[in-house]
């Protein structure tokens, strides 16, 4: 089968916030690619830089934030070279985004029909009547019951799951090539979460759309993603195909996340565990590897110097000294040795 081209190709992306004369690096040299028609999951704890990465791709970083370096290539063109007018024509049209809390994203004083039709009127030049017909089609597509009646509803008249479906309808109204979904199911109960994720997968297949799924939930990643980028403290620490990542994780942080996951259908043994400590704040990063203060394998070299993202077999990438020829410690199988090492961690 012919490999699909990368529709999104992010290279060394750097996004900082300037507060009280100091630069705080929220996204620091992030690199990843999204093949056409595939789903990339970006996973990590709160504060890892996932949402800032997604907002950077959409060029929605406002002061005191600024994208200060790197490339965001979409269909071979760097979005950082686009004017704001050009980006407005791309946002919601070729690249769309849905957010984790639809009540703060939907306008409370406009009906559902008006909010969906606005997007297609702006980007596709449809008349009000044509746009409202398109809005009805989109509500039918996302599976909202009694869609004609819902066109006249305001957001507060809908349940959380229905509001999220409306957000998906708005995002997909112009048939985008890329959908960015930032924690799209966080505020929903488990049954509705499954429905929303299944809906996104079905629409992705129908539209041959690429998806970037931002989440902290590795269970969601296992069910929905083709590739995974694990983020920690503003950097990608591991990138792999989803099957490879779950079967043979290489970074201690990835293993720690998997060990914390309450599932029985993945190849990880032992009791549920936690990762000691917390993600460092962007204004107080460690000198070396950013995970070193929490890592059970960390040595002096880890605390002194930041490793590069290294290419391994099967297209995997990992940012860890253990997988380089510079590692000065004993031989380590990160997956198999994690539990015993963590138990000795002070």
Render pLDDT for 52-101 as a digit per residue (tens, 0 to 9): 999 999 999 999 999 999 999 999 999 999 999 999 999 999 999 988 77
Residue with tokens 């779950």, as numbered in its chain = 246
Distance, CA of 269 to chain centre? 27
Please provide the DSSP assignment of 120-159 as one string.
Answer: HHHHH---HHHHHHHHHHHHHHTT-SSHHHHTT--GGGS-
pLDDT score recorded for residue 274: 81
Contacts by residues 62-67 (CB-CB < 8 Å, ≥ 24 positions apart): 64/17, 64/18, 64/19, 65/15, 65/16, 65/17, 65/18, 65/26, 66/15, 66/16, 66/17, 66/18, 67/13, 67/14, 67/15
What does the pLDDT look like over 246-289, one tens digit per residue?
Answer: 999 999 999 999 988 765 544 545 556 788 889 998 888 999 99
**Residue 142 · residue 168 · CB < 8 Å:** yes
Q: What is the DSSP-derived secondary structure letter of residue 10?
A: E
**pLDDT attached to residue 1:** 42
Q: Dmax of the chain from CA atoms?
A: 70
Give every residue of the chain whose pLDDT is below 70, as ranges.
Answer: 1-4, 102, 187, 262-272, 346
Cis before 64? omega within 30? yes
pTM of the predicted protein model: 0.90
Give the span between the Cα atoms of 282 and 26, in whole angstroms.
Answer: 6
What's the pLDDT score for residue 331? 94
HEC states along 26-70?
EEEEEEEEEECCCEEEEECCCCCCHHHHHHHHCCCCCCCEEEEEE
Interatomic CA distance for residues 76 and 96, integer angstroms: 18
- Tokens 């509500």: give the residue: 139
Tell me, rounded to whole angstroms, the distance of Cα 264 from its chain centroid. 24
Q: What angle do CA 76, 120, 79 make, to 5 degrees?
A: 20
| Residue 79 DSSP code | G
DSSP designation for 279? P
- Give alpha helix (H) positions in the chain: 50-57, 84-90, 102-105, 112-124, 128-141, 147-150, 160-172, 190-207, 218-224, 242-247, 252-259, 300-304, 334-344
Burial class for 134, CB neighbours closer than 10 Å (0-12, 13-18, 19+):
buried
Give every strand in the sheet of 65-74, ordered side by side: 22-35, 6-19, 65-74, 77-78
């Amino acid at each position: 089968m012919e490999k699909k081209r990368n529709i999104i190709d992010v290279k060394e992306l750097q996004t900082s916030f300037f507060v009280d004369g100091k630069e705080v690096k929220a996204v620091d040299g992030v690199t990843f690619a999204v093949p056409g028609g595939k789903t990339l999951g970006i996973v990590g704890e709160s504060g890892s830089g996932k949402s800032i990465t997604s907002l950077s791709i959409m060029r929605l970083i406002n002061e005191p934030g600024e994208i200060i370096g790197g490339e965001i290539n979409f269909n071979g063109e760097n979005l950082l070279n686009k004017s704001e007018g050009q980006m407005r024509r791309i946002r919601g049209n070729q690249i769309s985004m849905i957010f984790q809390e639809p009540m703060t994203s939907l306008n409370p004083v406009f009906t559902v029909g008006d909010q969906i039709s606005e997007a297609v009127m702006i980007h596709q030049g449809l008349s009000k009547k044509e746009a409202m017909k398109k809005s009805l089609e989109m509500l039918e597509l996302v599976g909202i019951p009694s869609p004609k009646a819902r066109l006249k509803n305001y957001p507060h008249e809908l349940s959380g799951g229905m509001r999220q479906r409306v957000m998906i309808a708005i995002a997909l109204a112009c048939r985008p090539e890329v959908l960015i979904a930032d924690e799209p199911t966080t505020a929903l109960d488990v049954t509705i979460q499954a429905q929303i994720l299944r809906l996104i997968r079905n629409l992705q297949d129908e539209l041959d759309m690429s998806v970037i799924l931002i989440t902290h939930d590795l269970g969601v990643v296992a069910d929905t993603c083709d590739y995974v980028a694990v983020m920690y403290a503003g950097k990608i620490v591991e990138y792999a195909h989803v099957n490879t990542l779950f079967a043979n994780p290489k970074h201690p942080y990835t293993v720690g996340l998997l060990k914390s996951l309450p599932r029985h259908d993945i190849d990880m043994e032992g009791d549920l565990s936690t990762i000691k400590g917390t993600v460092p704040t962007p204004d107080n990063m460690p000198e070396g590897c950013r995970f070193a203060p929490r890592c059970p394998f960390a040595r002096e070299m880890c605390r002194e110097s930041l490793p590069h993202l290294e290419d391994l077999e099967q297209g995997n990438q990992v940012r860890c000294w253990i997988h380089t020829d510079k590692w000065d410690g004993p031989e380590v199988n990160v997956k198999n040795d994690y539990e015993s090492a963590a138990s000795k961690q002070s």
